[in-house]
Structure 1
């Protein structure tokens, strides 16, 4: 039996039909999709216009509106005031969004809208920055914000382009005012607000799963079989590290019981950053049962920053344990969220695998620590383990080449970085060794 380790990123969910880009979440959260649907409903006779066109029109309208909202905000006066922020900007933007009709106003829905200071920051950044990169990398945004507030001596946001110098200055002031608290522990207050924001993202993922359930499950089944079976393999024992919050062990068991993923035996499954259905009693009861627990909370989705980014400048690279940003690192967040409540020691990673498969993951630097740990575990320099990396294939040749080249660059960066930790084994040659031994493959998603 083939033993494989599968690492899943957001590209997996996108391939299976979910709209899980951060931008999709923000468009839904801040009313752009709501306005677009209203525009679409007024043009029922036009059937060929894609929804994305309505989104573009709605986005332009919202940008103009928010630019005025921000221009009208006298942030200098607020900062000079000695009183606490007390959520002033949250209420300010919430009222403006409501007045504009950017929030759902269904009388049947009694759930309170959980708006946070992090929402304020993402909204303001979207307007005052020249590009939407800030919406593409939420975890980098978190790092920059906590650094500005908790380590004000550092020059954060230097690698972002703002529409003007005054816009950059105003953005920084807004960030500082958002967390202007007369508390002893500002970091904890920031983390509490972030946890509320994360639960709203979980809510959005659950909405996506509900709306696209049938198609999503069918695509998941097909994709799992395609990327795990190659050649004349009869069966696969699979261990999965899922960086997404969607597909969890409960759902995989559902597919298994319906023989949708025949010949795949799942040894272990972990959603390393939590699951969208963290508060679902049925799923909680199921996971507790199969992992031999009478009770146990499930970890909610987390956004964490890379611990590498807050290493002290000392030669030994020892973590500065007095750095207040530590509580935002992925290592801390994993422990704090009790990620092991969805695993047990019986279902642990095998001592050896034949193949490591990376599908839909951008291989960002923030996750290097995970990958380096796995590379150590399976001794990829000296073993026979095969590494397969999938890149998103496009029908247009130019876009396809760019996608392939970008993934190749990410793979080389990751392996070279790992190789630097293997000085006694000429680790700088790890890429060459894997290629010569036919253990490194770059594969298109459409040809898996």
Structure 2
């Protein structure tokens, strides 16, 4: 089989189009880096960032403290999103951080969509309707400019006391780090300056994580007992060469769509087998942290327009979306595309398959015409070696996530009948496979669970 370098080196595009090339798309998530022993989970970052009792002290900060001094004593890099995230964990999870990065983005989403009162403090909209940014802006607008203390805004009944205490602290933090904000607000109905402040603070939070990840990347790459680069190359080679049925003269164009912020394959021989590599949400630069850029955020379809919002309000929230912010990651610098060659094999590993990422899968499935194109096969791989005790539950939970992904994708297909039987068709045509990456037995557990999944998740 010809190497990918032979494909890349040719300058005759017409010749390339005539080559017998199979496109393989490999989609990886944070589980890939975790499997390679990189401490890239939010829990890892959380425990490193909030050493000791910082998270509790952070949430206890209130308007009666010297805020700048308190933040400096805790950590000079902390900002308003540290306070919000720790506040969420304190209120919802009894101080325990969530494990998935997608969950952090869900918290960002509830803030941007004005759902703090409802989702974080469980205040029913039927009981009382609150709008986070409007409430916060009004609090700033009515505050004493000399002290930054809100005047009378938060004298609420006991059912909403915690929510407004939280708002009061946020108002004080905003005043402390952005003292000119009141003059920029102009009126209590102008929430744009507050949202811009939150976005600027989010970028700082992202930079802090980027610096953390660079540190862990360098440590894991230089430590022989971790051997991150070796592990990642070995795992990617396994993903590339597992479940291939190519003819002798058939060439393989491997594309990687990574939801991680790392690019370990540039540092190893494995890059010779990769035709195209995309980091969906940006990447770190281990040699120059100022040139790397990563993004957290929400998806454009999750932007909500409530009854108090006008078009300007909706536009303000758009600035937080991944779609909008990805436009600034210099995507035009790429010379190759994951769909330069017909994709016949799709492999997914280490991805949480959370609903926030469904739009990416929808776009890919549409691009390859997954329902009708019988030449396309899709593989979902998982690992259980990190928790052998609960291996069976891990397997079944993952199978359910795959089933739900196709349930949701089915709702986007124009033909409702095709949508309802999408997964069933793939199973019957033997075009979908779910298996443990270390397993040499084809679909050893898929056959065990497929009938049960069909009954639970497929409607006809």
The reply to whether TM is greater than 0.5 is yes
Structure 1 gap segments, 5+ residues each: 33-61, 79-87, 98-102, 104-112, 282-296
CA offset digits 1:398-424 (Å, max 9, x no partner): 611211122112111111111111132
Does residue 140 (structure 1) correspond to residue 106 (structure 2)? The answer is: yes
State the SS of the aligned residue for 2:283.
coil
Corresponding residue of 1:244? 260
Q: Distance in 1 between matches of 2:163 and 2:288?
A: 42
User: Over the residues paired in the alignment, what is the CA RMSD in angstroms?
Assistant: 3.2
Q: Distance in 2 between matches of 1:17 and 1:92?
A: 37
Corresponding residue of 1:405? 396
Corresponding residue of 2:50? 30
Among candidates 4, 11, 15, match of residue 35 of structure 2 = 15
Contact 2:46 2:97 in 1 (8 A): no
Among candidates 265, 268, 279, match of residue 255 of structure 1 = 268
Corresponding residue of 1:302? 295
Task: Output aligned runs, 1:3-402, within 5 Å.
Answer: 3-32=23-52, 62=53, 67=56, 70-71=59-60, 73-75=61-63, 89=67, 91-97=68-74, 113-131=76-94, 132-134=96-98, 136=100, 137-148=103-114, 155-157=118-120, 170-175=165-170, 177-179=172-174, 181-182=181-182, 183-184=184-185, 185-214=193-222, 215-230=227-242, 236-247=252-263, 251-256=264-269, 261=270, 265-277=273-285, 280=288, 300-312=293-305, 322-323=313-314, 324-335=316-327, 337-344=328-335, 346-383=336-373, 384-394=375-385, 399-402=390-393
Evaluate the alpha carbon distance shift between residue 217 and residue 394 of structure 1 in structure 2; reply closer, same or farther with a 3 A threshold: closer
Offset, 1:127: 3.5
State the SS of the aligned residue for 1:349.
coil
Evaluate the alpha carbon distance shift between residue 67 and residue 119 of structure 1 in structure 2; reply closer, same or farther with a 3 A threshold: closer
Contact 1:387 1:440 in 2 (8 A): yes
Q: Distance in 1 between matches of 2:339 and 2:122?
A: 39
CA offset digits 1:374-420 (Å, max 9, x no partner): 11101110112111112231476661121112211211111111111
Q: Distance in 2 between matches of 1:130 and 1:12?
A: 26
What TM-score do you get using the length of structure 1 for normalisation? Answer: 0.70
State the SS of the aligned residue for 2:297.
coil
Q: Distance in 1 between matches of 2:425 and 2:312?
A: 38
Corresponding residue of 2:432? 440
CA offset digits 1:233-271 (Å, max 9, x no partner): 576421111111112xxx424312xxxx38x63221111
Offset, 1:229: 0.9
Contact 1:372 1:418 in 2 (8 A): yes
Contact 1:122 1:135 in 2 (8 A): no
Q: Distance in 2 between matches of 1:174 and 1:197?
A: 19
Evaluate the alpha carbon distance shift between residue 123 and residue 157 of structure 1 in structure 2; reply closer, same or farther with a 3 A threshold: closer
Offset, 1:128: 3.9
Does residue 417 (structure 1) correspond to residue 383 (structure 2)? The answer is: no
Contact 1:4 1:239 in 2 (8 A): yes
Corresponding residue of 2:419? 427
Offset, 1:334: 0.9
Evaluate the alpha carbon distance shift between residue 386 and residue 134 of structure 1 in structure 2; reply closer, same or farther with a 3 A threshold: same
What TM-score do you get using the length of structure 2 for normalisation? Answer: 0.69
Q: Distance in 1 between matches of 2:238 and 2:381?
A: 12
State the SS of the aligned residue for 1:140.
helix
Contact 1:5 1:353 in 2 (8 A): yes
Q: Distance in 2 between matches of 1:159 and 1:409?
A: 28
Q: 222-231 vs 380-389, which deviates more?
A: 222-231
Contact 1:128 1:168 in 2 (8 A): no
Evaluate the alpha carbon distance shift between residue 70 and residue 364 of structure 1 in structure 2; reply closer, same or farther with a 3 A threshold: closer
Evaluate the alpha carbon distance shift between residue 348 and residue 74 of structure 1 in structure 2; reply closer, same or farther with a 3 A threshold: closer
Corresponding residue of 2:456? none
Evaluate the alpha carbon distance shift between residue 369 and residue 69 of structure 1 in structure 2; reply closer, same or farther with a 3 A threshold: closer
Corresponding residue of 2:140? none
Q: Which runs of 4+ in 1 moved over 6 A?
A: none
Which has the higher Rg, Structure 1 or Structure 2? 2
Q: Distance in 1 between matches of 2:121 and 2:301?
A: 19
Contact 1:274 1:339 in 2 (8 A): no
Structure 2 gap segments, 5+ residues each: 1-20, 124-158, 176-180, 186-192, 441-460
Offset, 1:166: 5.8
Q: Distance in 1 between matches of 2:119 and 2:386?
A: 39
